[in-house]
Chains A and B, each alone.
Chain A
Amino acid sequence: MRARPWIIIAAAGVVAFGAIALVLTFAVAPRQIGQAVGVASIGGPFTLTDDTGATVTDKTLAGKPYVMYFGYTYCPDVCPTTLFDLTRWIKALGPDADKLSYVFVTVDPERDTPKLMHEYLASFDKRIRGFTGTPAQIAKIAKEYRVYYKKVPSSDGSYLMDHSAIIYLMTADEKFDTVIPYQEKDTAALAKLRDLVATAPSS
């Protein structure tokens, strides 16, 4: 009985420490994407299927800087918003837009068939290609790009996806350049895209 207050205080201390550690971990994590984790460790070889049904690899994108976004078509809010933002930015880039490639990679390969992605992407800039694949292929590219995604079952037996809502900007030699986070201001996003255009090898 006498020991109990100490146990409570100790337990509270452990919980508080844990909470602080957790907050710090997550607060620091996004910054690490661009810094501590390092440039070399984002990206890597992949084999996927594009929205026309053709096999694509990282070599398909090589030679041009590229913009890569991970999402899924079942997503009603963030994904269409982001793809629409990207569509506006592509338009704002003007002729320079053709110096970049644009890819929407699904994190929901079970539902996102090439045909569905093709139909879905028709509502956005035509230059945005859709990549899907087997669950194993998607797991591999997600790991290489440090994209978090997780299936969350819903009450009706279906599922939703938690996923990184980040646009990756990659150089022509498949090196990480920077990211455009969710709800980035147009001016900031366009500045990053123009910087990426400037890295394009002159042809």
Chain B
Amino acid sequence: MRLLSKLALMAVLLAAAPAAFAQAGGTSKINVEQPWARATPAGAMTGAVYMTLANRTNTEDRLTAASSDVASKVQIHEMAVVNGIMQMRQLTDGLAVPAGGSVTLKPGGYHVMLIGLKKRLIAGQTFPLTLTFANAGNISITVPIQAIGATNSGNGGMGKMEMK
């Protein structure tokens, strides 16, 4: 039984290895992939940051807090539109990152919410963000800012209209 679980663990580790090496400085327990923020309209007091969190350990981890120079407060939120009603809630217990799995923060779902923006988020610029995990500790990242209409980390927003 014990041997089996060890073998399973090794298999998991081996499977995770290429991803780990692909990431620069791959020593962290959590990979923060493709972070991005949406540019904010003038005067907006809030902004949203999106990313994928990949857990390279076989223990569940939790994103419990975040902080940034650009905002007076940073919270972890879940957003949903249920029957046409937009609901947004702070995840006071944090966001679970499953063992060996990942969770994606994206428009219309989970986001890191910047509250009390100290400066407008301008497309093309970046800002620092520190994520705090229950197990992995603090991870500091640089977040690129995409156009207001962006829907993912790579899409500049205005580029594709898909009108036809």
CA distance A64 to B77 in the complex (A): 39
Closest Cβ neighbor of A160 among chain B residues:
B88
How many residues of A are counted as interface, with CB atoms below 8 angstroms from the partner's CB atoms?
Answer: 46
Nearest chain A residue, comparing its CB with the CB of B106:
A77
User: Is the Cβ of B41 less than 8 Å from the Cβ of A73?
Assistant: yes
The reply on A200 being an interface residue by CB < 8 A is: no
A198, CB-defined interface residue at 8 Å: no
Contacts of A122 in B (CB 8 A): 41-43
Classify chain B: how many residues form its interface, as a range. 35 or more
Considering the complex, give the chain B residue whose CB is closest to the CB of A187.
Answer: B163
Which label, helix, strand, loop or mixed, suits the secondary structure of the A interface? mixed
Q: Judge whether B53 is part of the interface by a CB distance below 8 angstroms.
A: no
Task: Compute how far the CA of A120 lies from the CA of B5 in the bound complex, rounded to whole angstroms.
Answer: 56
Q: Complex: how many Å from CA A30 to CA B85?
A: 10
Closest beta carbon of chain A to B90's beta carbon, Å: 5
Contacts of B45 in A (CB 8 A): 73-74, 111
CB interface residues, A 38-89, toward B, < 8 Å: 73-78, 80-81, 83-85, 87-88
Spell out A's residues near B (CB within 8 Å). Answer: 26-27, 29-30, 33, 73-78, 80-81, 83-85, 87-88, 92, 111, 116, 119-124, 148, 152, 154-156, 158, 160-166, 181-183, 186-187, 190
Interface residues of B (CB under 8 A from A): 38, 40-48, 73, 75, 79, 81-90, 92, 107-108, 111, 113-115, 148-149, 157, 161-164
